[in-house]
A and B are shown apart, each in its own frame.
Chain A
Amino acid sequence: MKNINAFLAIGALTLSVAALLYLVDAHQNFRNIYWALGISLTLLITHVTNMAIYFKVAGDKPYKWFK
């Protein structure tokens, strides 16, 4: 259940960032170097935040054998 909650939270954040990038026309400007750098940084921060969210929501050690 904790894993499902974690993935729901990750999905929500990822979709929000994707929608934001779409609204600012990132998908049309990605060939501009500065846009590409900004998009990449945004995606990297999203990924890192998603991992942190997973650690927080899924619990200390979700890979434990016996729960």
Chain B
Amino acid sequence: MKFFINARYLIVPVSSLITIFGIFLGSTYAWTGVILFGFYTIIDTLTKDIHLKAEVDNDGNSYGIKIFQYLVMYVMLPVFIAIQIFLAWRLYQYTSGATLQNLSLGLIEYQNGISGLNLVGAIISSGLWAGLGIIYGHELSHNKKEGFFVSRLIMALSGASHFTYAHVYNHHLDLGHEDDPATAPRGRNVYLHTWLSHAGQSKFSFDMEAKKLKNQGKSFVNKDNRWLLGYLYSLPSIFLFVWSGGVIGLLALATVWILSNFLLEALNFMGHYGLIRKDGAVEHRHSWDNDSVFTSWFFIEIGRQCDHHVRGETYFWELDDVGGPNYGIGYFSLFVLTLYPPLFRKFVQKHLDNWDKNYATEEERSIASKFNIDTSSLASIAS
């Protein structure tokens, strides 16, 4: 039991390694990461009705092994770096005009050189798995020790090191309020939300450092500026892609960053879309749970948002179903819906109606009604 409960959270680490291996093998295997993403979307959809509680032993203690889970999360940093190195290697080959030929490394046969089409596959695969891997950056952002710094480095690989501060000191404190850029209001689509949330969180970190440095009597351009430092941590990635691929390398890095940040913000979008908090403490009802079995295991329980936002420093393997608002489907399935905003809005409306009726306070309902008026007026304009 203990082994299974800990091993089930290894889907992303193993899949990331398979994605790297696919990029190494080359040819159509470079698309492995994309195919895995599609395959997992199907599994998530098929298992959407299976919901499990957090398992504990007879004494009520979790089966999770902290040292093992933390080791996995720390090891994910070099794994994500490896994804970028292998992609850079392919960019180097492509921009150098390496001839396509099959070579062997021991028993493994791989293709040296890569076609333009398969390079696109390698880039998208890298972006998707860099984005899915951000779940570790999220989990470690709640660690007060070295894990916080590892989170900063993981996020910097996607140009989003500011996330670590903004997530803990902005998103968690201002959840469900318009001061939280990561909470999407009703009517906003995931594409606009991606930019507004990304820039908003960076702005939070920017303001935080500006205020701190001003109080310390230091200039903004300073080695103690953690907003600037966060971007500086991204310099090795930029260097790697510029050196290996020039303009094409830069386009590849931009694609990886955009894809990974899109997935990160899509998670924020799905976790809190349309929910409202009028001051007061954060409660379970201020988040959407996504706890179908595959989502739970794949995303290391990040879908248990209701519990996570009330017990922010609880290890992911201890989070549980708390009876909060729930879409009833997993993140992969819901993500597909968010890609087509009218479909997402149609799907989510009944859940929002239920939230307004059964979870919201009078004040929260009052704010919600402003959105409902806005939405109907927009609809009348559109028609």
Residues of A within 8 A of B (CB): 27, 30-31, 33, 36-37, 39-41, 43-44, 47-48, 51-52, 54-55, 58, 61-66
Contact = CB atoms under 8 A, between A and B. Distances in A.
A40 B235 CA distance: 7
Contacts of A55: 199, 202-203, 206
CB-CB nearest 9 A-B residue pairs: A36-B243, A63-B196, A65-B178, A63-B181, A30-B246, A65-B185, A40-B239, A63-B200, A40-B238
B117 interface: no
Interface in B213-260: 228, 231-232, 234-235, 238-239, 242-243, 246-247, 249-250
Contact of B231 (A36, A48, A54, A62): A48
Contact of A27 (B199, B203, B234, B247): B247
A26 to B, nearest CB: 8
A37 B206 contact: no
B242 A52 contact: no
A43 B197 contact: no
Interface residues of B, number: 27
A62 B199 contact: yes
Nearest to B238: A40
B346 interface: no
Interface in B324-378: 370-371
Given A39-B242, A65-B185, A44 B200 contact: no
A30 B196 contact: no
Interface string B116-140: 0000000000000000000000000
A44 B203 contact: no
Contacts of A66: 178, 370
B337 to A, nearest CB: 22
Contacts of A27: 246-247
B283 interface: no
Contacts of A52: 206
Contacts of B313: none
A33 B239 CA distance: 9
Contacts of B235: 40-41, 44
A44 B238 contact: yes
A36 B239 contact: yes
B279 interface: no
A54 B238 CA distance: 21
A63 B204 CA distance: 12
Contacts of B200: 61-63
Contacts of B109: none
17 contacts: A43-B242, A43-B250, A44-B238, A51-B202, A52-B206, A55-B203, A55-B206, A62-B199, A63-B178, A63-B181, A63-B197, A63-B199, A64-B178, A65-B178, A65-B371, A66-B178, A66-B370
A56 to B, nearest CB: 10
B209 to A, nearest CB: 12
Nearest to A58: B199
Nearest to B245: A30
Count chain A CB atoms within 10 A of each CB in B178, B185, B196, B243 and give the residue with the most.
B243
B49 interface: no
A42 to B, nearest CB: 10
A41 B231 CA distance: 11
B135 to A, nearest CB: 23
A7 B281 CA distance: 36
Interface in B171-207: 178-179, 181, 185, 196-197, 199-200, 202-203, 206
A63 B200 CA distance: 7
Given A44-B234, A63-B181, A66-B178, A31 B250 contact: no
Nearest to A54: B199
A44 B203 CA distance: 17
Nearest to A47: B231
Nearest to B253: A43
B239 A37 contact: yes
A66 B368 CA distance: 12
Contacts of A44: 231-232, 234-235, 238
Contacts of B228: 48
Given A27-B247, A33-B243, A64-B178, A51 B238 contact: no
